[in-house]
Chains A and B, each alone.
Chain A
Amino acid sequence: MTTPTSDELYDAYYRQELSAADKAAFEARLQTDTDFAAGYAEFTRLTAGIQYYNRMRLVQAFKEADARQEPASPLTFRREEDTPKNVPLYRRGWMLAAAVVLLLAMAGALFLLADRSSAPDLYAAYYTPLAQLELAHPRGEDESAELKQQAAAAYQQADYPTSLQLLEKARQLAGADGELLFLQGLNLLALERYAEAEQALLQAREFRFRQQQDARWYLALAYLAQEKRPEARQTLETLQQNDGPYQTQSTELLRRLEQE
């Protein structure tokens, strides 16, 4: 049997293929054989670099998945701490959202009577500020949640700059979450800062919160305002497939986009 080379020993040690006795001998040799130790130091730099390369490759694959990600189904987003006591509010929200749907559908019907329009015109025809916000109730003394409640009130009073300032304070206190990003997106959209609104609403999609369907609808509108038709179409198609409050006007808006 031939004596293994240093490289073969490095490989076997790294891959944990040495017997206990050989491993002990290897470690003892590192202490006494300078050349062997220097060779092993070089070897570990190489293997650590290979590990690092592969880690970054995986991270890149994750980022690419993020970039092409369609939001997961509501089931997978469901938070375990959602409690039955939230249900009535949630249902009430859907009724209100349905009322918004009806209003928007009426706006859509009026729009149908008008001339063909560009995507920004479609945006203008369909956009109205969100009438009903349903934020989670603050638990205990949660200053960040209080700020979000105040920001929601400011939004509903059309005081969008104040709302944005309050949201920024909330972000500094507790970081971003879905509700915060959603509210931020709504305010930015109202201020006609469409690209920023798009970014905020896109980020909001990463979180679980009550008004995800609303967030998706306003994201589609932000795309429309910027003439981003394929993105708007894709988002509307998702809404159309969901049995939610925006199904009707998404179908309508998609049809209008097809006609152009």
Chain B
Amino acid sequence: MSAPGTASSLEEDRLLLEQVKSGQEAPLVELYRRLKPEFVYWLSSNYSLPFETAEEIFQLVMVLFYENVMNQKLSELNSSLKTYLFAIGKNKALEFQRKKQKISFMEDLSVYHDRADEAMEEQELELQKETTLQQVARAMEALNEGCRKIISLFYYNKSSMRDIMAAMGYATEAVARNQRYRCVQKLKTLLQAS
């Protein structure tokens, strides 16, 4: 592996970006493993953060990077991945210093509130959101592997039905659509039962 920031490293970064785009998780984990020591050291020494906080920020940065790739907010690289990730990390560290709140993996997860909810206090809404997110996560855990995967591909990776068909080995897009529908219904049933 070349040193970060060099020309050949940029080529490697672009290749890695393509791999992540295609839904491969292993290169993402490898990138995490490769950059973590330097990132955590840099963050904790430059922003006077405890090791554990710097570590959580790096995990959050990697998650946001993955989501930016999947949402096509990041489709091509003009600088190295390291530069990109460190820039997000810097913003998150400054945000953390400003707010002095625990690092949350619930940030930016928007939940629409209808009129019935609007009367609630903000704190109450946050608590309700947290409870709901955890309930859905537990229901996802209770689904079979196939359903978990198809739901995640559709709603998290925002993959097209054609890509889901290929990833799941279905014969047609219609089969993929039907299967997704059934899985979402199962998830809703599990949630109602919880």
Contact = CB atoms under 8 A, between A and B. Distances in A.
Interface residues of A, number: 48
B36 A175 contact: no
Contacts of B145: none
Contacts of A61: 25, 29
B122 to A, nearest CB: 16
A51 B134 CA distance: 11
A58 B33 contact: no
B137 A56 contact: yes
A207 B19 CA distance: 28
Given A62-B32, A178-B41, A208-B38, A37 B115 contact: yes
Chain A contact surface mostly: helix
Given A48-B110, A50-B156, A207 B105 contact: no
A45 B113 CA distance: 9
Contacts of A76: 1, 3, 34, 37-38
A66 B59 CA distance: 11
A65 B136 contact: no
Interface in A1-49: 14-15, 30, 34, 37-38, 40-41, 43-49
Given A37-B114, A48-B110, A52-B105, A65 B29 contact: yes
Contacts of B110: 44, 48
Interface of B: 1, 3, 25, 28-29, 32-34, 36-38, 40-41, 44-45, 48-51, 54-55, 59, 62-63, 66-67, 105-106, 109-117, 129, 132-137, 139-141, 151-152, 155-156, 158, 184, 187-188, 191
Interface of A: 14-15, 30, 34, 37-38, 40-41, 43-56, 58-59, 61-63, 65-66, 69, 71-72, 75-79, 174-178, 181, 203, 205-208
